[in-house]
Amino acid sequence: MTSRRRLLAGGAAVAGLGVAGGAAVAATTGRDAPAPVAAAVALTTGTATVPFHGPRQAGIAEDPPAHASFVAFTLPAGADRRALARMMRLLTDDARRLTQGVPALGDTDATLAVLPARLTVTFGFGPGLYRAAGLEPPVTDLPTFKIDRLERRWSGGDLLLQICADDPLTVAHTQRMLIKDTRPFASVRWVQQGFRRSPGVQAPEHTQRNVLGQMDGTANPRGAEIEPAVWNQDGSTQLVVRRIRAEIETWDILAVADKENAVGRRLESGAPLSGTQERDEPDFAKLDASGLPAMPDFSHVTRARVTDPAMKILRRPYNYDGAPNAAGHPDSGLIFASYQRDIAQQYVPIQQRLADKDLLNEWITPIGSAVFAVPPGCDEDGWIGEQVLA
């Protein structure tokens, strides 16, 4: 941290970059001349920005960008509130610059910062950070669910950075800058990288499909429903991150009808088995032609059902797809991220019902789990975590 700040001595701060370029045009004549379509396309994805400052952190209620990296850190023994405050001042400064397309102070690869591509950086504090600061944690580790097969390499964490953008190079550069500035204060515990549909492939705010081909997030709160479900009065919220491995090869041998019964939705349209359109409310009293419930009691949709809008959770998942093993078997699944006011009141009851009686558990395995309190945002003169650590 100190060495980077020394780069500013004598007013040598890097404030921004100008990008120059040129294009070579081949001269052709007659009907061989290409139509100048590409020149008319406006390139806006790379320059798009999401405001960093505000009473709430960005990267939560906005339409999720295509790429994400979740980076968790472990604090060293002896970390105290003063050191944590220094760390968060530095990381906040980095994030406020990078999200607006401005290089971080002392950025040695500043050309990689000029296309933010809707970059957001969201900070979460784990229980260990609060204890290091001498405070009672507002979040606690999840209870053990019988379906869990958790691995330490994907679980826990004292500090989380959720880095999202529509360009993977932007995510990679931001991750490198932030890890570099966190090094004096904490060590990397785990990194999980995920993806969604790229910009332009589907309309904005489309429902995510996971690697099992199913829509994921149809029942999310939308519009005015987000307020009571996600945000506390001070602008804070809480985050659950779960790494869920998909047992794809056994899923692949199922018939389409079996897949749909396990989930409770049509594979093609995402409609509940009791309806015809994705947004149709599931009718849990409806019977099918055989006299059985159209929405099976063991289906994922039935078990995850929430009737009180304030008790919903905001799912913000990303797919992951690692390298297959030597035998060619896939390593794929979901980085499940959910935001809610209160994990214990909202997330835990849903997950307990799913763990008890969800047929989809035959084809998914939770292998990582972590919880974080997400502090409020900040204004231009403040820093993330100021209410907790100042």
Helix, strand, or coil (residue 245) = strand
Q: Other C-beta atoms within 10 Å of 34: how many?
A: 9
**What is the dihedral sign for C-alpha 177, 183, 184, 190?**
positive
Residues forming a β-bridge with 244? 334, 366
**Which residue is catalytic, options 216, 252, 297, 381?**
216
- Rama region for 134: left / alpha / beta (φ>0; ψ in -120 to 50; rest): left
Residue 286's nearest CA partner among 268, 271, 269, 308 is 271
1: Cβ contacts below 8 Å, ≥ 6 apart:
86, 90, 181, 184
Q: Is 216 tagged catalytic? A: yes
Tokens 């968790």 correspond to what residue? 72
Q: Tokens standing for 273? A: 């088995």
Q: How far apart are CA 56 and CA 60, in angstroms?
A: 9
Residue 387's nearest CA partner among 377, 267, 266 is 377
Tokens 């506390």 correspond to what residue? 232
Q: How far apart are CA 368 and CA 157, in angstroms?
A: 11
Helix, strand and coil in the chain, % to nearest 5: 30, 20, 50
* Contact present, 249 and 336 (Cβ < 8 Å): no
Counting beta carbons within 10 angstroms of the beta carbon of residue 45, is it exposed (0 to 12), middle (13 to 18) or buried (19 or more)?
A: middle
Residue 186's nearest CA partner among 160, 164, 154 is 160
User: CA 323, 326, 327, 329: dihedral to nearest 10 degrees?
Assistant: -20
List the catalytic residues. 216
